[in-house]
Amino acid sequence: MKAVRWLIPVGCLLLGLTQGLLLPLAAGAQGTSSRAQLFRVGVVVLNSGDTLRGPVQLFLDRDALAVTMPDSTVRTVSAVAVQTFAVRSPILPRSAYYALSRMGNDRARRLRGPQRYRQFLVYRWNHDRPTSNFTSPAFFERLNGGPVLLLRRRYLVERTSSRTLDNYTTPANRPTRPMQVLTTYTDVSDRYYLATPAGAIVALRRPKRDLLAYFPAQAQQLEAFASQHKLSFDTEEGLARLVDFANLLNEPSVQ
């Protein structure tokens, strides 16, 4: 089964998203959790041809969406019923702001996520079980142009950080020993994949190794390109440029 690729005009999709900006965030969609990702603006195109607009909650662990409609009702759909969807304006769980306050600008931008429109496609996938022949429809975020696509599944995960309190006193105003304080916060975990023109999913478990293995004839040129432009094989930006460059090298007109 081949994945859906831009089956609706980009202009129509962005128009729907712009209209979605005018919709209020319904109370029924305000909750977030470590597994759910909430976006203020979303457009979901179903296989039936219907289009849903409103705040979108993405449950990546079960590949389902909950869309808050203009009348405040919530419609839930699974990946098997979805053709494509696009979102913007992510809402972070409250605990994520602890991570933002303690990390550098690069990681903070990564956790906040891009404010541009993000398109998701549906592919049949074995859920990273190499020995299994069973596949089911799953959501993947599209990160480049193609024909070989770079895809991502971004998970919200709970992490724990510890810090030491040196200067504090008890209610009786007696000094105490340093105390370790544990804080739980929300971070992101990205997993990258390639989608072949035939619709197969290739996991990039070790991105550099697996990307070069997929493009063996272009491996030397990809490494030189990464070195010349200071691109990382472990970031969205670096991988997207490298996959696009590999696609360019594979074009028949390029010698």
Q: Write out pLDDT tens, residues 105-143.
A: 555 555 555 567 899 999 999 999 988 889 999 999 999
- The answer on 222 and 253 residing in a single domain is yes
Instruction: Tell me, yes or no, whether 125 and 40 share the same domain.
Output: yes
Domain co-membership, 22 together with 117: yes
Tokens representing 242?
């490298």
* Tens-place pLDDT, residues 133-185: 899 999 999 999 999 999 999 998 888 877 776 665 556 666 666 777 777 77
Can you give the C-alpha Rg of the chain in angstroms?
21
Q: Cα separation of 135 and 227, whole Å? A: 37
- Quote the percentage of the chain above a pLDDT of 90: 57
Cβ atoms 46, 122 nearer than 8 A = no
Mean pLDDT of 192-209: 97
* 104 inside domain: yes
| Mean pLDDT computed over every residue of the chain | 81
Q: How confident is the model at residue 195 (pLDDT cuts 50, 70, 90)?
A: very high
Cα–Cα distance between 37 and 53 in angstroms, integer?
16
> Do the domain assignments include residue 93?
yes
Q: What's the token pair of residue 121?
A: 């496609």
Longest distance between any two alpha carbons in the chain, whole Å? 80
Residues 134 and 245 placed together within one structural domain of the fold: no
Say whether both 37 and 150 belong to one domain. Answer: yes
| All residues at 6 or more sequence positions from 45 whose CB lies less than 8 Å from its CB, including other chains | 7, 8, 13, 51, 82, 83, 84, 85
Q: Which residues contact 179 (CB under 8 A, 6 or more apart)?
A: 164, 165, 168
Does 165 map to a domain? no
Domain contains 184: no
Is 99 a domain residue? yes
Q: Tell me: the pLDDT tens digits for 57-77?
A: 999 999 999 999 999 999 999
> In this structure, are 126 and 226 located in the same domain?
no
Domain co-membership, 40 together with 151:
yes
Structure tokens at 83: 């053709």
**46 is a domain residue:** yes
1 pLDDT above the threshold of 70: no
| Residue 144 belongs to domain spanning | 10-157+191-203
**Rounded-to-integer distance, Cα 215 and Cα 197, Å:** 14
- Residue 17 sits in the same domain as residue 138: yes
Q: Are residues 133 and 21 in the same domain?
A: yes
197 and 123 together in one domain: yes
Residue 171: the pLDDT is: 62
pTM equals: 0.77
pLDDT of residue 174: 60
- How far does Cα 60 stand from its chain's mean position? 9
143 and 75 in a single domain? The answer is yes
**Residue 120 placed within a domain:** yes
| Average pLDDT score over residue span 222-231 | 98
Q: Into how many domains does the chain fold?
A: 2
Determine the Cα–Cα distance for residues 151 and 147; give it in Å rounded to an integer. Answer: 12
Beta bridge partners of 252: none
Residue 172 lies inside a defined structural domain of this protein: no
Q: What is the DSSP letter of 234?
A: T
Residue 33 in this model has a pLDDT that exceeds 90: no
**235 plus 198 within the same structural domain:** no
